[in-house]
Amino acid sequence: MSNYVIFTDSGCDTSAEVLNEWGIIKKDLTFRFEGVDKEYLDSEMPVKEFYQRMRDGEIAKTSAINSETFKEAFKAELDKGNDVLFVAFSSGISATYNSGRIAVEELKEEYPDRTLYAVDSLCASVGNGLLLYMLSEKKKEGASIDEAYQFLMDNRMSIAHWFTVEDLKYLKRGGRISAASAFVGTVLNIKPVLHVDEEGKLINMAKVRGRKAALKTLADKYTETALNPENGLVFIGQTDSMDDAKALAAMLKERHGVDVKLFSDVGPVIGAHTGPGLVVMCFPAKER
């Protein structure tokens, strides 16, 4: 059985150090601030600085990874005799999966004896991170690349994503809500509760009044849909809002005795669209 290398992108919002422990290689998406020529890798700027600049009014624009970047990275492993399994964050949000797919298809012609897969996780942020963690555990158990691919296809729809944001202006800027809804919501202290649907797209599911109510709604969704609430596997991400992330974790602990497996900083590429104040919770569920 040939060895294989797992690749992902920075849309998984999992640090390079943690991914290294899991044996996964990450390639970064990029972003730039409007009016600034410099382009940054997703992991290049400290998140505190990035979100402070957003609070100060700067607007960040993001870019997918191009196929040539993936092709170069994959080729380096193929030349070592390794097969390649690329797991991208959702095609419903980014073109990054398509770039990786193009690279894989081109390299299959150059390396007909090697096995390459490109998988659209249909997950985002720490939801993709959670799927990657589960994948790394399967690989440790001895799963072949074909078995690993099938595991991803069988389990990607079981990852639930629930999240809320503090300030509606960032969702308005990205076209997720209208200017009128953002204005009324801000005046009335309305907080949206959103999830990632089966097409990997962000969907507004509920509107509640106040931050505490929004966090409670996230905890309610865990209670209602978690595959194994009392022994669950939970990842929480946040954008410069760790206190709220820990408050949510405390609710889960009080209700179910469950400990959050991983807290992550959500990076600039996803944070550019949500702004500071995002809290996102992901877990294996009976339904998305």
CATH of the domain at 19: 3.40.50.10440
Are 243 and 260 found together in one domain?
yes
The pLDDT of residue 180 = 42
The pLDDT of residue 103 = 98
- Residue 5 makes CB contacts below 8 A (sequence gap 6+) with 25, 77, 82, 83, 84, 85
Closest listed residue to residue 126, CA positions, set 234, 243, 218: 234
Domain range enclosing 121:
4-31+64-156
CA distance readout (Å), 65 to 40, 42, 96, 146: 12, 11, 6, 25
Are 145 and 215 found together in one domain?
no
Are 147 and 267 found together in one domain?
no
Rounded Cα gap, residues 76 and 35, in angstroms: 36
Are 237 and 250 found together in one domain?
yes
48 in any annotated domain: no
Are 145 and 10 found together in one domain?
yes
The tokens describing 100, both together, are 């990786």
132 in any annotated domain: yes
228 in any annotated domain: yes
- 3-class DSSP state for residue 160? strand
Are 142 and 25 found together in one domain?
yes
Are 234 and 246 found together in one domain?
yes
53 in any annotated domain: no
Residue spans of the chain under pLDDT 70 = 1, 171-188
pLDDT digits (tens, 9 = 90+) for 146-167: 999 999 999 999 999 999 998 7
Q: Tokens 């629930």 sit at which residue?
A: 162
Q: Provide the whole-model pTM.
A: 0.94
- CATH of residue 166: 3.30.1180.10
Domain boundary among 121, 156, 191: 156
131 in any annotated domain: yes
Domain boundary among 129, 156, 183: 156
Q: How many domains does the chain have?
A: 2
The pLDDT of residue 112 = 97
The pLDDT of residue 183 = 41
